[in-house]
Amino acid sequence: MNEKIDPKELKVLADILALVLEDQPGQSLNALETIKKRAKRNTVTGGALKNLFTSIANSPPKNNTTNFYSNPGNDSAELRKARSRITELTHSINRLDATIKSLRRNNESLRSELRLTQESRAEIQSALHASEAKSPFKATVIIVSLLCGLFCGIAGTAVVHSLTAKPPLPDNTIYLQ
């Protein structure tokens, strides 16, 4: 590689690679995904990355402001800060992973509850359709019974009236003539 290596990019790459080698699988996977995204964004191939490591191994970059070997006091403080930051990020990622897992479990339980609710709804709808299929017969029976009641009422009224009614008086006007 003929390009000069940016120290900031090298530090970011080193941090990401350190995360890849962590024992926690979620962190390693996230770091690998980050490397893939950065490589895709910068159009870096696997061979170019290999050449970068080879060139770094053969001649490590020299930075005038902070050199790992020249100023161990500053770098150890910076290294401690970086490690504490990495630890914070690790804990944060672990918390987020746990949250995601609990949300996935909650989502699954809600999905199963939804499926049960949908099944119950389907059963209720089929029962409703079955009862609606019988309802025209029920309506006919109700109408016929109302008509029968009406006719029985009229007939009963006529019978009662005929039993209690006085016979009509003969017309006396015939005798007056």
The answer, yes or no, to whether residue 49 has pLDDT greater than 80, is no
Cβ 55 vs Cβ 8: under 8 Å: no
74, part of any domain: yes
Position 174 in a domain: no
pLDDT at 19 over 50: yes
Residue 60 lies in a domain: yes
Specify the number of domains making up the chain: 1
Residue 38 within a domain: yes
- pLDDT tens digits along 112-154: 999 999 999 999 999 988 877 776 677 788 899 999 999 999 9
Residues in Cβ contact with 38 at an 8 Å cutoff, skipping those fewer than 6 apart = 16, 44
CB atoms within 10 A of CB 75: 15
Rounded Cα–Cα distance for residues 17 and 123 (Å):
56
Residue 152 lies in a domain: no
For residue 70, pLDDT beyond 50: no
Residue 15 domain boundaries: 7-97
Q: Examine residue 161 and state whether it is found in any structural domain, yes or no.
A: no
Report yes or no: 94 and 24 within 8 Å, Cβ to Cβ.
yes
Which position has the higher pLDDT, 28 or 76?
76
Length of the chain: 177
User: What is the Cα–Cα distance from 75 to 69, expressed in whole angstroms?
Assistant: 9
Give the predicted TM-score (pTM) of the model: 0.34
Residue 122, in any domain of the structure: no
Whether residue 128 lies inside any domain: the answer is no
